[in-house]
Chain A
Amino acid sequence: MWKKVYDWLDERLGFDSLYKGLLDRPEPEGNWWNTLGSASLFLFVMQGLTGIFLTVYYTPSPDHAYDSIQYIMNDVAFGWLIRGVHHWGSSLMVLVVFIHLVRVFVTASFKYPRELTWLVGVGLFLLTVGMGFTGYLLPWHQQAFWATTVGTQIVGSVPFIGDFLLQALRGGPDLSALTLQRFFSAHIWILPGLLAALIGVHLYQIIKHGESHFPDEED
Chain B
Amino acid sequence: MNEDTKKKINAKYERELNNSSERFWPDSIFKDVIVALGLFILLIMMATFIGVHDTPKADPSDTSYLPRPEWYFLFLFKFLALYGQIPVLGKIEFIAAIIIPVIVLGVLTALPFIEKSPYRYYGKRVLPISVMAIFIVSMVTLTWISDIPTTSGEEGIYVAGILQTIGGLIVPGLGFLLLFIMAFTMKEKAKQPMIWTAVIASVLMIAFTGATVLTAPGRESAEEEIPVTLPDRIVAGQDLYSVYCVECHGDDGSAITIENTEVVDGVEVTTTTEITPINTRDVLYTLTDSAMVEVIAYGRPNYGMNPFGLAYGGELTRTQIDQMVTFMRYAWDDRFEMPEIPELFPPLAEGEVPSYEVHIAPIVKRYCVSCHRAGKDNNDYLMTSYAEILTTGENAEFNIIPGEDYEQSYLLITIQEQPILDENGEEIIGVMPPKSVLKADVVNVWQLWILNGMPETAEEAAALSDIPVNTETP
- For A151, what are the chain B residues with a Cβ–Cβ distance below 8 Å? 69, 73
Q: Distance in Å from the Cβ of B24 to the closest Cβ of chain A?
A: 4
**In this complex, what residue of B is CB-closest to A207?**
B24
A-B CB pair tally, cutoff 8 Å: 236
| B28 near A158: Cβ-Cβ < 8 Å | no
Interface hub of A25, A27, A159, A174 (most chain B Cβ within 10 A): A27
Number of B interface residues in the complex (CB < 8 A): 78
Asked whether any CB of chain A lies closer than 8 Å to the CB of B54, the reply is yes
**In this complex, what residue of A is CB-closest to B17?**
A26
| B112 near A142: Cβ-Cβ < 8 Å | no
Interface hub of B10, B121, B129 (most chain A Cβ within 10 A): B121
Within 8 A of A (CB), among B13-33: 13, 16-20, 22-25, 27-29, 31-32
**In this complex, what residue of B is CB-closest to A32?**
B31
Asked whether any CB of chain A lies closer than 8 Å to the CB of B397, the reply is no
Give bound CA distance, A9 to B145, whole Å: 59
| B43 near A89: Cβ-Cβ < 8 Å | yes
One of A28, A114, A119 near B22 (C-beta < 8 A): A28
**In this complex, what residue of B is CB-closest to A125?**
B108
Number of A interface residues in the complex (CB < 8 A): 90
| B48 near A105: Cβ-Cβ < 8 Å | no
Interface hub of B19, B27, B28 (most chain A Cβ within 10 A): B28
Give bound CA distance, A210 to B31, whole Å: 17
Given A151-B69, A158-B94: A211 in contact with B43 (beta carbons within 8 A): no
Asked whether any CB of chain B lies closer than 8 Å to the CB of A208, the reply is no
- For B65, what are the chain A residues with a Cβ–Cβ distance below 8 Å? 142-143, 145-146
Give bound CA distance, A89 to B42, whole Å: 10
| B105 near A46: Cβ-Cβ < 8 Å | no
Asked whether any CB of chain A lies closer than 8 Å to the CB of B103, the reply is no
Given A27-B23, A111-B120, A141-B55: A149 in contact with B67 (beta carbons within 8 A): yes
Asked whether any CB of chain A lies closer than 8 Å to the CB of B398, the reply is no
- For B300, what are the chain A residues with a Cβ–Cβ distance below 8 Å? none
- For A35, what are the chain B residues with a Cβ–Cβ distance below 8 Å? 28, 31-32, 34-35
- Other than the known A111-B112, A129-B72, A150-B69, what 10 A-B pairs have Cβ atoms closer than 8 Å? A27-B27, A28-B20, A29-B19, A35-B35, A39-B39, A114-B112, A142-B59, A147-B68, A150-B67, A218-B12
Q: List 28 A-B contacts (CB under 8 A).
A: A24-B25, A26-B18, A27-B23, A32-B31, A35-B31, A35-B32, A39-B32, A80-B52, A84-B46, A84-B51, A87-B52, A88-B43, A92-B39, A105-B111, A105-B128, A108-B125, A111-B9, A112-B118, A114-B112, A119-B109, A140-B58, A143-B65, A150-B67, A151-B69, A157-B93, A175-B60, A210-B17, A211-B28
Footprint of B on A, CB under 8 Å? Answer: 19, 22-30, 32, 34-35, 38-39, 42-43, 46, 62-63, 66-67, 69-70, 73-74, 80-81, 83-85, 87-92, 94-96, 98, 102, 105-115, 118-119, 122, 126, 129, 132-133, 136, 139-147, 149-151, 154-155, 157-159, 162, 174-175, 210-213, 215-219
